[in-house]
Structure 1
Amino acid sequence: MRIGELAKRAGTTTRALRFYESQGLLEAQRSANGYREYGEDDFRLVNEILTLQAVGLTLDDTRPFVECLRAGHAAGDACADSIEVYRRKLAEVDACLERLNEVRAGLLGKLSTAMARQDPCRVTTEEQ
């Protein structure tokens, strides 16, 4: 299939596919007239990339998954390097959640202090 058909089937753009190719994630075959040609394996790779990006992985994070599929595995996360990406990304998310919980606790404390005052100010800020 040509680049336009692959883009349409995968739900992405030809520009994205060219970018994936420039990053070494996708390898097009060239027809005699120079057109990029892709197969079903390429469709699987693009779907894997898009699915992983949808759950928060960067394009660079998808490399081990792509290599795992290229190695002939049925799933991109069948390889140890892919599992390690999941673990690293989960650790990043956990750290972010921890920081957000700290911010939330600080805001709750400020709100509690403000609400405990006997006579809160009645001035409001309304847009004119």
Structure 2
Amino acid sequence: MRIGDVARRAGVSTRALRYYEEQGLLTSERSHGGQRTYPESAVERVRLIQQFFAAGLPSRTIAQLLPCVDAGHGSAEALELLATERDRITAAMAGLAAARDALDRIIDIAGHPTPEHCPALREPAWAPDAASAPVSA
């Protein structure tokens, strides 16, 4: 099967397929004319790779997991790797939640400014006093 056929059937770009090959996630053979050819099973493999990406896994982790997929069974190392990735994603989510909460506070302050948060609402420190006021004749 040619690269365009795999891309169309799997719902990805040909560029994505080339990237998967560069990362060692997918293999192809070359025709006499140098064109990539794939087995029928490539469509299913690309869909699996897409599921891994959708789960937030980087290509280096996917490359480590695919031998387990090819062997048809998981390993303790694969499960540990998945748990580590889940922890990484959970930490990233906590960081995003903290950023969202900080932005919510800024939005609230912008919508309801107070002298505490907005220097323009404070009494100017340079306010003239009676001693420095100009004298009229």
Per the normalisation by structure 2, the TM-score is 0.63
RMSD of aligned residue pairs (Cα, Å): 3.0
Instruction: Name the SS for the 1:24 alignment partner.
Output: coil
The gaps in structure 2 that reach 5 residues or longer are 116-137
Name the aligned partner's letter for residue 33 of structure 2: N
Once the two structures are superposed, what CA deviation does each residue of 1:32-86 show, in whole Å capped at 9, x if it has no partner? 3322111133222211111111121112221123222333x1x7xx333332232
Contact between 1:45 and 1:69, CA under 8 Å: does it hold in 2? no
Bigger Rg, which one: 2
Q: Distance in 1 between matches of 2:41 and 2:20?
A: 14
Q: Distance in 2 between matches of 1:19 and 1:103?
A: 32
Q: Which runs of 4+ in 1 moved over 6 A?
A: 104-108
Structure having greater relative contact order (Cα 8 Å, sep ≥ 6): 2
Name the aligned partner's letter for residue 3 of structure 2: I
Per the normalisation by structure 1, the TM-score is 0.67
Alignment of 1:71-90 (within 5 A): 71=71, 73=72, 78-90=74-86
Alignment of 1:85-96 (within 5 A): 85-96=81-92
Contact between 1:30 and 1:36, CA under 8 Å: does it hold in 2? yes
